[in-house]
Amino acid sequence: MPRRRFDLERSEARHLAPYAQNSSVTRGRAHPEDQHRFRLDFQRDRDRIVHSRSFRRLEYKTQVFLNGTGDHYRTRMTHTIEVSCIARTLARSLGLNEDLAEAIALAHDLGHPPFGHLGEDTLHKLMVDHGGFRHNAQSLRVVEELELKYPIFNGLNLTWEVLEGLHKPYIANKLVDGFIQPSLEAQAVDLSDQIAYICHDLDDGLESGLIDEQELSNLELWRTTREAALAPYPHLEAERGRYFVLRTLLGNLVEDVIDHASAVIKERNPQTSDDVRRQSAMITFSPDMARRAKELLTFLYSRFYHHPALTKVRRRSVDCLEQLFELLVGHPHLLTPQFFTRVKKDGVHRATCDYLACLTDRQVYIQHQKFIGGLPSIEATRLEQSALL
Ligand code: MG
């Protein structure tokens, strides 16, 4: 006998914690749909996300390095997968809805533009008089408007709970009785995002040689983790040792969040998922870990994300985006038909911004070469960047 949706809903009700978000009590979808025979609502959302075009594009978008600079560095896609693994661990340990946490994690960066945070800041600057640009608001826009999969509505028609997890102001705009936080599942994704990038940006930073272990030894979190991890293995070769410290760090961060969140949840004793939404965040690092993680992040910002070896290529990528934006705003007929038709509804600036935000790193360079030219190709730029690492 197959297990039907109804059986799965009963199993959720039996096994999840009372403060988890059960799929059977979802606030539903903007466009009502028949229930699936076998899949729960948040499972369907996860599948819609994975089958979307914007999800596939994550593979070709910058995490820190221009896409294609090196085959071992993270992309927005591998970052997303790592976030979803961590979020599922947090959700399962805390008795939360793993399907919901996974769906939010897989969608959380769908709105990220090409060139990572640099691309985000560039688009924000270009859009400053037209509503600005932020990647999490854009993630919501992608799944509500820009994905075209269904005959009678735009977007993926995801459940309210997944949308809530993508963009905090969504709660204020669309609901309701004093909600100030999203579900615990969404909070778990938020922490998972932070844990993932702390660990993998350290990994990529060390791998690239732009930061070295000597510098890291000034940071308390790295130093204490390293000492504890390598104490039983004093003679490990460098690469294996580095990896072992990084996986120990990841494990420690995850366990800190689980232990601290469990204590906070026990103390506050929320009885339902809406109780959670009326209180301040419950899934956070412990105060001590938060302090140590912040020190590490501050280091990454100053020494890695803004490393001089990345400056030239970053500048060129910004030029590509800015010049394309200017051209397309003046000549919107050059937009693809999907975005050209949006000019009437959203205005030429927003339609252009949506179009550019959807492009991958490579597509920006290709479009620039096609319409403007005069800058090195993406292949030349990748080689140039690799040579500096
Ligand atoms: Mg992220």
Q: What is the DSSP string of 203-270?
A: HHHHHHTSS-HHHHTTSHHHHHHHHHHHTT-TT--HHHHHHHHHHHHHHHHHHHHHHHHHHHHHHH--
Binning pLDDT at 50, 70 and 90, where does residue 170 land?
Answer: low
User: From ligand 1's centre to the CA of 82, what distance in Å?
Assistant: 10
**Res 173 pLDDT > 60:** no
CA distance 289 to 294: 8
Q: What is the pLDDT of residues 119-144, one digit of tens each?
A: 999 999 999 999 999 999 999 999 99
Domains of the chain: 5-24+35-308 (1.10.3210.10), 309-388 (no CATH)
Binning pLDDT at 50, 70 and 90, where does residue 168 land?
Answer: confident
User: From ligand 1's centre to the CA of 94, what distance in Å?
Assistant: 21
User: From ligand 1's centre to the CA of 83, what distance in Å?
Assistant: 7
Residue 176 confidence (pLDDT)? 67
User: From ligand 1's centre to the CA of 363, what distance in Å?
Assistant: 21
Residue 63 confidence (pLDDT)? 87
Residue 389 confidence (pLDDT)? 87
User: From ligand 1's centre to the CA of 167, what distance in Å?
Assistant: 12
Residue 81 confidence (pLDDT)? 98
Residue 167 confidence (pLDDT)? 85
Q: What is the pLDDT of residues 193-226, one digit of tens each?
A: 999 999 999 999 999 999 999 999 999 999 999 9
Q: What is the pLDDT of residues 146-160, one digit of tens each?
A: 999 999 999 999 999
Q: Which residue has the tokens 């028949």?
A: 34
User: From ligand 1's centre to the CA of 193, what distance in Å?
Assistant: 5
**Res 13 pLDDT > 80:** yes
Question: Residue 353 belongs to what H/E stretch?
Answer: helix 348-358
* 374 touches 327 (CB < 8 A): no
User: Phi/psi at 285 (nearest 5 deg)?
Assistant: -70, 155
Looking at residues 251-256, what average pLDDT do you find?
A: 98
Looking at residues 270-279, what average pLDDT do you find?
A: 95
Binning pLDDT at 50, 70 and 90, where does residue 177 land?
Answer: low
- pTM for the complete prediction? 0.96
User: From ligand 1's centre to the CA of 104, what distance in Å?
Assistant: 11
User: From ligand 1's centre to the CA of 136, what distance in Å?
Assistant: 9
Residue 141 confidence (pLDDT)? 96
User: From ligand 1's centre to the CA of 138, what distance in Å?
Assistant: 13
* 179 touches 277 (CB < 8 A): yes
**Res 20 pLDDT > 60:** yes
Neighbouring residues of 263: CB distance < 8 A, sequence distance ≥ 6: none
User: From ligand 1's centre to the CA of 80, what distance in Å?
Assistant: 6
Residue 172 confidence (pLDDT)? 55
User: From ligand 1's centre to the CA of 375, what distance in Å?
Assistant: 30
